[in-house]
A and B are shown apart, each in its own frame.
Chain A
Amino acid sequence: NAGVTQTPKFQVLKTGQSMTLQCAQDMNHNSMYWYRQDPGMGLRLIYYSASEGTTDKGEVPNGYNVSRLNKREFSLRLESAAPSQTSVYFCASRGISGAANYGYTFGSGTRLTVV
């Protein structure tokens, strides 16, 4: 049981380049999330998907787009990368409502540097 899998683990982009961060979960979770973590800070929500077919903005959505491809996969796209998007990106999914553990599971993160 892999949990939440993110790819790639590391990426360096030049300003203006685009890329897509991939996330997949194998726990049959309905909701999925993208967070970013900047040095010395907690995580901030970029976008989330409460269920397959829906997406919503979080705290810091500017410069990003998302796609909930199916129940398992939720991707994050940077259309024109900027140095301010240098961060560690975490994908998460949440257990099923009513389950004993209705908690979040996080992937191992993608460390992105924009130069």
Chain B
Amino acid sequence: GIQVEQSPPDLILQEGANSTLRCNFSDSVNNLQWFHQNPWGQLINLFYIPSGTKQNGRLSATTVATERYSLLYISSSQTTDSGVYFCAVTNDYKLSFGAGTTVTVRA
């Protein structure tokens, strides 16, 4: 399967700070998604972004498919942004997950 590496593994932010999370993957993909797993364990779909750039409020994402990486930007972070952010990719039916970035936003 496709190997997915996320960095950094952990991130501690002060409320209001900006941050960038990175996802590298080992093969070409036809699907890439960013998920946020909240403290209650729910997986929330943030972006479906196999290529290009998308924005949703304070979050934005960019995928450079030819260079096999994707970036998730969090701006003006809030305590509700805390949780684990997963990147997941596939080029067939099997979605492969990275190990996640644990984000803690302090008030």
Our pick among A40, A58, A90 for the contact of B94 (Cβ within 8 Å) is A58
Which residues of B1-48 are within 8 A (CB) of A? 1, 4, 30-31, 33, 35, 41-43, 45, 48
From DSSP, what is the main secondary structure of chain A's interface residues?
strand
A33 to B93, CA, bound (A): 9
Cβ B43 vs Cβ A90 within 8 A: yes
The count of chain A contact residues (Cβ–Cβ below 8 Å) is 26
Our pick among B30, B31, B45, B94 for the contact of A48 (Cβ within 8 Å) is B94
A42 to B94, CA, bound (A): 14
Interface residues of A (CB under 8 A from B): 31, 33, 40-45, 48, 50, 56, 58-59, 88, 90, 92, 94, 101-106, 108-109, 111
